[in-house]
Structure 1
Amino acid sequence: MVSTALQDLFGGKAAEAVLLALFHHGEAYGRSIARDFAVSLDSVQRQLDRFERSGTLVCKRQGRTLVYTWNSKSRLASRLRDLTGVVYDGLDPQTKEQLFAERRQPRAKDKPVIRR
C-alpha cells in the first residue's frame, strides 16, 4: 500500500485504510477494510472505535456485522471527509484500482469501479 499524508497525520496504516475505504465506499466494516488494505483486523477495529468515540463515525448493526459510516451530524466528520477526499483525489488511477478492485455491489458491465 502507498503511504499518504493520512498515515503521517493519524499515525498508522489502519487509520489511513479506514478513511480511504469510507471515502470510496461510503460505508465499510472492519474485516473488509483489513482485507483490502492488508492491515490487521485488530488494528482496524481499534481505529474504527477511536473514530466512533470521537464522533466522526457512526455504526449500525447488520446481522452480526458492525457497518460504519460518516456521522452526518458532525462538522468534524465533514471536514475529515473533505481532507480524505483531497488525499483520495491525489492518488494515481493505478493505485485506486489496486486498492479498490473488489466490487461491493453489482455494477453495469463496463462501469468503472473508481470515481473520477
Structure 2
Amino acid sequence: MVSTALQDLFGGKAAEAVLLSLFHHGETYGRAVARDFAVSLDAVQRQLDRFERSGTLVCKSQGRTLVYSWNPKSRLAARLRDLTGVVYDGLEPEAKEQLFAERRQPRAKDKPVIRKQ
C-alpha cells in the first residue's frame, strides 16, 4: 500500500484507507476497504465508527451491510473531503490503479478505473 500524509495525520493505515476509499467511490463499507487496502477489518470498522461519531460520516443499512458516506451536513466533512482530494490527486496513476483495481460496478470493457476530473 502507498503511504500518504493521511496516514501520518490520522495515525494509521485504517484512517487513510477509509478516507481514500470514500473519496474514490463516494460511499463504502468496511469489508471492501479492508480488502482493497489489506488492512484488518476490525481496524477499519473502528475507524469508520470514530468518523461516524465525530459527525464526519453517515451510515445507512443495505441489508446486513452498513454503507458509509460523507455527511452532507457537516462542514468538517467537506473540509476533510477537500484535504483527502489533495492527497488523492497527488497519488501517481499507477498507485491509483493498484489501490482501486477491483471494480465495484459493471463497466464498459477497457474503461479505466480512475475517474477523469
- TM-score computed with the length of structure 2 as normaliser: 0.97
- The alignment partner of 1:60 has SS state of strand
Per the alignment, residue 109 of structure 1 pairs with 109
Deviations 1:82-115 (A, max 9, x none): 0000000000000000000000001122321102
Per the alignment, residue 96 of structure 2 pairs with 96
CA distance in structure 2 between the aligned counterparts of 1:72 and 1:97, rounded to whole angstroms: 28
Deviations 1:44-81 (A, max 9, x none): 00000000000000000000000000000100000000
CA distance in structure 2 between the aligned counterparts of 1:71 and 1:37, rounded to whole angstroms: 23
For the aligned residue pairs, the C-alpha RMSD in angstroms reads 0.6
Per the alignment, residue 44 of structure 1 pairs with 44
- The alignment partner of 1:105 has SS state of coil
- The alignment partner of 2:101 has SS state of coil
Name segments (4+ residues, structure 1) moved above 4 Å. none
One-letter amino acid of the counterpart of residue 23, structure 2: F
- TM-score computed with the length of structure 1 as normaliser: 0.98
**Deviation (angstroms), 1:2:** 1.1
One-letter amino acid of the counterpart of residue 7, structure 1: Q
**Deviation (angstroms), 1:13:** 0.1
Percent of counterpart pairs with the same letter? 89
> Does residue 60 in structure 1 map to residue 91 in structure 2?
no
Deviations 1:22-45 (A, max 9, x none): 000000000000000000000000
Gaps of 5+ in 2: none
One-letter amino acid of the counterpart of residue 74, structure 2: S
Per the alignment, residue 28 of structure 1 pairs with 28
One-letter amino acid of the counterpart of residue 38, structure 1: A
